[in-house]
A and B are shown apart, each in its own frame.
Chain A
Amino acid sequence: MIPVEYYLGVGFVLFFIGLVGVIARRNVFTIFMSIELMLNAVNLLFVSFAKMHANMDGHAIAMIVMALAAAEAAFGLAIIIIMYKSKESLDIDLFRKIRG
């Protein structure tokens, strides 16, 4: 079978791709997709570790994270819609009102 380490490697790579995507992309939707990508990568990692250590905890966490990701997607999309309504654009660099 495929060694478990390979799954871990894929998980890490996916996570870092998502991370770079969150930081370096301008489109709001792209950032959101990258966040989802990170969540999925984490799921993969948890499941792989569970297989590695023959422990059911990883599987349980993965199920919870999936439910969480769904809820967060709904919530985040609602925010994006409001953001679009105020600026008529999807460029994240335009939303600088956070500055202190």
Chain B
Amino acid sequence: MGFVSLLVFLPFIGGTLIGVAYLAHLKGFKISQKIFSLLAIWAPLASAYLGAKLFLAVYNDPASAITVKVFQWIEVGDFTINLSFYVDSLSALMTLFVTFIAALIHIYSIGYMNKDEGFAKFFAYMNLFLGSMLMLVLADNPILMFMGWEGVGACSYLLIAFYYKDKANVKAGNKAFIINRIGDFGFVVGMLTLYVVVGKYGFDFASLKANAFLIPEYTIWFITLFLFVGAAGKSAQIPLYTWLPDAMAGPTPVSALIHAATMVTAGVYMVARFSFLYAEVPAVGELIAYVGAFTALVAAIIATKQTDIKKILAYSTMSQLGYMFIAVGIGAYSTGIFHVFTHAFFKALLFLGAGAVIYALHHEQNIFKMNNLKSLKIVYFPMLIATLAIAGIPPFAGFFSKDEILLNTFASGHFLIYAMALITAGLTSYYMFRLFFLTFHNREKSHAHIEQPPLIMTSILVILSVGSVFAGFAGLPEIFGGSNFIKSFLSHSLVYKAEFAHVSHSLEYILMALAIGISLAGIFVAYKRFFRYKEQSELKENALVVAIKNKFFVDEMYERAFVVPLVNTSRFIYGYLDRVIIYKIVQNSAVALNRVSHFYGRVFQNGDVKWYLVYMLGAIAAIAIYLEGLINV
């Protein structure tokens, strides 16, 4: 098991190596892009291999939970935090697909970032990100998890603002980091409260799980709510989601890895990891589920009117994350993680496919301007598979996980959430197929030349397509003859307390048919409107459509409510308080000190020896009198 630490540290070492090599390259010690490519991918590939090995080891014994200690990090009296890694079925599964997809995306990026002057810098950041994510997933205690949490946030900022010469990209990066930070504050408050209550018995997950019964109920409410604030910031839920669409300013592989498959799922993972707390407070869980449902619905609505291919995918990520939070909110933790698993495959495929499309059309991102790309078969079929997967069409991956979420929501009695999720499913297939038809079946011939994406990119698309087809079978439910491997595998690390009504097989089939029916309806509507799309005269836009097109003006509201007051306060403090009042005080005291010293110098140090003698004798007289006083005593 000792290779776990290697698994986490190799990406860091790789990233540092690339960074040093890049700096040397800048100083004149030239290194070719080929060598940088090798430096870039050895660490993710090694981690992927080790991740598979780790998963196999845990697969043979799913109930095991092993702690691998690297060294003792903090020791203050009784409080000790070790740098150690916790391997149980949950972290093993997460490690497996995180390393696998990260390795694939690294390989893809070699093709996508070809000839970019920041080629090496990109891979340094990506490796650092992978290392942080693995630290987050495999952490043994909340503090180490938080270090990984912050690490992925920092790398996300670095990678979003990668094309730093354009100020808009830098602002997007800032936005992502700052909103993330607000979430981090919530996380820290929750974590500290947890420590105050039960930390003295050991602050690693195993001890916390064992001692959770000691925490009074309302304290658990407090802790779980604040931890969820952190998750909402990291996973772009309402109200901390506005950074995600802007984050699309970064290179497409970044969007694929960070904002689809891994970082944004950290929030869901965190809730699952703390299932021993969340299972005790179903009311907080319900709140989380409602937030998830609202986010899913609102994001889907906004996505229906977006024109930039990456922004549509960003909102769809937000929407699918909402689904995951619905699942973990109602207590079906393994279902949420199952959706994380399948979503990673098809969302990464969607983003990478979009990257291939953007590459082919020379950086065109507006789906209304895309040429008839049907001829580009190697991109067409993977994108079709991914779109079918996200729409929830069997037997593709998204169907099984999404259906399990819907089933559990229905069985737990949350019918309003079920309805919202169902409507969102219909909207999802509508806007995703809108994207698909407009990208690939457009009648416009605006782009004459299609650039063929290189093999290194298209082969990854093919591999991910296989994943998107088959990943769903990991959680094949009993009615189809499967044993729902994921649920049983993860049950050893998660805590279940929620009551799920038993749903008969026939009802299950009916619900399944309902979900499929809604998805097909969405596809049909999109087909009618956008297949062989021709530029139509502008339909009358009522107020609702305008609101949707402008993302419900949320960014503008935040700007007015938070940003503008802050800026004005800063201006007031600088302009008036600092410049007028404090400057004057400081300046005047400096002048006063100057005058006093000049006076002293002019009078007492005039060079006249006779006066110096007088001062000397005066001092001697004073000392003599003082000593004389001492003698009498």
Q: Please provide the chain A residues from 72 to 100 with a CB less than 8 Å away from any CB of chain B in the complex.
A: 92-93, 95-100
A24 at interface (Cβ–Cβ under 8 A)?
Answer: yes
* The one of A19, A24, A96, A100 that contacts B608, using a Cβ cutoff of 8 Å: A96
Stretch at the interface among B149-157, B429-437, B610-618: B610-618
CA distance A95 to B607 in the complex (A): 8
Q: Which residue of B lies closest to A25 (CB)?
A: B610
A23 within 8 A of B: yes
Q: From DSSP, what is the main secondary structure of chain B's interface residues?
A: helix
Interface residues contributed by chain B, number (CB under 8 Å): 11
* Docked complex Cα distance between A21 and B613 (Å): 11
Do A99 and B607 touch across chains, with their CB atoms under 8 A apart?
A: yes
Q: Are A98 and B617 in contact (CB under 8 A)?
A: no
Q: A24-B610, A92-B610, A98-B612 are in contact. Are A19 and B617 (CB under 8 A)?
A: yes
What separation, in Å, do the CA atoms of A99 and B600 have in the docked complex?
12
Q: A59 vs B614: C-alpha distance in the bound complex, in angstroms?
A: 30
In the complex, are the beta carbons of B606 and A96 less than 8 A apart?
yes
- Nearest residue, chain B, Cβ from A96: B607
A42 CB–B CB distance under 8 Å: no
List residues 11-33 of chain A with CB under 8 A from any CB of chain B: 19, 22-24
Q: Between A and B, how many residue pairs show CB distances below 8 Å?
A: 25
The answer, yes or no, to whether B605 is at the interface (CB within 8 Å) is: yes
**Which residues does chain A contribute within 8 Å of B629, judged by CB atoms?**
none
Residue B609, interface by CB 8 Å: yes
A100 x B601 contact (CB < 8 A): yes
Residues of A within 8 A of B606 (CB): 96, 99
Chain A residues with CB below 8 A from B614, complex form: 23
Docked complex: B573-626 residues within 8 A CB-CB of A: 601, 605-610, 612-614, 617
* In contact, B601 and A23 (Cβ under 8 angstroms): no
Instruction: Say yes or no: A100 contacts B605, CB within 8 Å.
Output: yes
Point out the residues of chain A lying under 8 angstroms from B613, CB to CB: 22-23
- Docked pose: A22 CA to B620 CA in angstroms: 15
Chain A residues with CB under 8 Å of B610's CB are 23-24, 92-93
Given A19-B617, A93-B608; 13 other pairs, CB 8 A cutoff: A23-B613, A23-B614, A23-B617, A24-B610, A92-B609, A92-B610, A93-B610, A96-B607, A96-B609, A98-B612, A99-B605, A99-B607, A100-B601
Residues of B within 8 A of A (CB): 601, 605-610, 612-614, 617
- Give 25 A-B contacts (CB < 8 Å), ordered by A residue: A19-B617, A22-B613, A23-B610, A23-B613, A23-B614, A23-B617, A24-B610, A92-B609, A92-B610, A93-B608, A93-B610, A95-B609, A96-B606, A96-B607, A96-B608, A96-B609, A97-B607, A98-B607, A98-B609, A98-B612, A99-B605, A99-B606, A99-B607, A100-B601, A100-B605
